[in-house]
Amino acid sequence: MRGNSGQAIVCVQCLQCLRQQYVPVRLGSSWRKRVLKREAIKDRVIQYAGDTAHQTQRVYVWGLAATGALGIRSYLRPEAKGQRMLRYQPRPALQTFWDGKHTKVEDAACGYGFSVFMTKNRKWGVYGTGINTESQLGVHEYPRNTGRLLEYIIEPVRIDLPLKAPDTTRVKHVACGRAHTLILTDKEGVFSMGNNGYGQCGRSIIESEQYRGNPLIHCIAELPDNISQVICGPDHSFFLTETGQLYSCGLGADGQTGAGHFDCVGVPQLVQGDIQGETIVQVSCAGDCVLALSENGDVFGWGNSEYNQLSMVSQDTQVAVAKHLPMRGLGRVSMVASGGSICGVLNDKGSVFVWGYGILGKGQMVESSSAPTQIPDTLFGKHDFNTDSRVSILRSGLSYFAAITSSGDLYTWGKNRGGNLGLGQRNDQFFPFKVSVPAEVGDVRCGVDHMVALCKTFT
């Protein structure tokens, strides 16, 4: 290659050839070996990343694009003449709605065919894209004053919250269920919107309530002031306090609210059972089976157990209160992931253990396990030449898992609805497989058929 000055530029990958006193350089239109003196080579090596270089945020999305959940407008409204709509995006695509410099995505959540993003510029904001048939993204009219409501939103639009102090209140966390959304603020509590047919929005159930075009954004007054996280199942919700107490509301047909009964809960209540007195730090529930983790590394479970998710402590198919799950021989658990019929935990050594029924990540021959079994560390890139690699984050969508390593690599496995695993095809994946993301993955959010990855550039 030649630089702007016309000088030959040494290929950085070929610097090992210095011992032989020559390096390959491009002269004209072909590659040749040219003898260069060591003194001359020093002037031709380019430093690609300077001392002041810093990482820039990138947001990648993939999966079912037909709903608009990916938020890339050109997929559903092609810009080029003759170009077809894109129904599936089975590999990571850069979400260009935010530049990552002036406006950053601080958090995101994936629902059933829709996504919500929490952004920060000069002020905090919430944006939504995808299915909006139940007003889970608020009410959006276009054109204005025409009565034409947007039931499908193909790129992010701002969700305006009824804040008392919009200039000083900031958004802390967002979560999405099947057709409802929760938004946590630092000073004005938790707001909910969308379908409340089972009380999942934390308010009383109104018979025959119409949710299409419903402008109600409800502030849940029955919660304490110290809520730190909000978590959504398909039709139920959880609210975790800074002191580790857990409240729930919504559908309880499988006992997934942990309220001690199987009825719907409209007003948030404390989860009952072995969880009482524990300091909870994480909750996971992509389906109707719920896993919770305490600060001591203890794991608790409740809800659906039709596929032996909770058979280690109960033979019932529905468990209405939290039960302590024995995790013998696994080490200290640092993270839990519940994907409906499949469950997983991550220990402090970076090893992943799975159980339940479905694609567990141990091949086609292993489709069920009543006790946690380990997925070999080598399937996550750990080997003799990369001994420091370990899984640091474990997430789950409905019937699939996602694992992020300490080096920022992403691995997925399980059901591949709409290409939600990001592997470039739509076949189910029976072992963890590395996703080709051109950035360092920091965290992911898993929907039922799409994913959002919060990343940073390599340099």
Residue 306, Cβ neighbours under 10 Å: how many?
Answer: 15
What is the residue whose two structure tokens read 């809520």? 227
**The domain 57-456 is classified under which CATH number: 2.60.120.10, 3.10.20.30, 2.130.10.30, 3.40.50.300?**
2.130.10.30
- How high is the pLDDT of residue 387? 86
Cα–Cα separations (whole angstroms), residue 26 to 17, 30, 37, 271: 15, 6, 17, 68
pLDDT for 98 equals 82
Mean pLDDT value across the chain: 89
**Tens digits of per-residue pLDDT, 309-327?**
999 999 999 999 999 999 9
Largest Cα separation within the chain, whole Å, is: 84
Q: Checking phi first, is residue 200 left (phi over 0); if not, alpha (psi -120 to 50) or beta?
A: alpha
The torsion angles phi and psi of 348, rounded to 5 degrees, stand at -70, -5
Q: Is the pLDDT of residue 335 over 60?
A: yes
Residue 49 has a pLDDT of 56
Contacts of 58 (CB under 8 A, 6+ apart): 94, 100, 439, 455, 456, 457
Stretch(es) of the chain classified as CATH 2.130.10.30: 57-456
d(CA 313, CA 257): 18
> Tokens standing for 146?
């025409």
State yes or no: pLDDT of 146 exceeds 90.
Answer: no
pLDDT grade for 43, boundaries at 50, 70 and 90: low
Instruction: Tell me how far CA of residue 148 lies from CA of 129, 139, 140, 142, 159, in angstroms.
Output: 17, 10, 9, 6, 17
The reported pLDDT for the residue numbered 111 is 98
Each residue's pLDDT tens digit, 364-381? 999 999 999 999 999 999
Report the candidate in 372, 421, 375, 382 with the shortest Cα–Cα distance to residue 398.
421
d(CA 286, CA 63) in angstroms, rounded, equals 17
Long-range contacts from 310-315, C-beta under 8 angstroms, 24+ separation: 311/370, 312/370, 312/371
Query: Which SS3 state, helix, strand or coil, does residue 322 take?
Result: strand
Q: What DSSP state is assigned to residue 13?
A: G
Task: In whole angstroms, give the CA distance from residue 153 to residue 150.
Answer: 6
Which residue's structure tokens are 């002036």?
Answer: 102
DSSP per residue, 193-216: EE--TTSTTSS---TT---TT---
pTM: 0.88
DSSP element (H, E) containing 39: helix 38-42
Nearest to 290, CA basis, from 263, 330, 250: 250
Instruction: Say if residue 143 is preceded by a cis peptide, omega within 30 of 0.
Output: yes
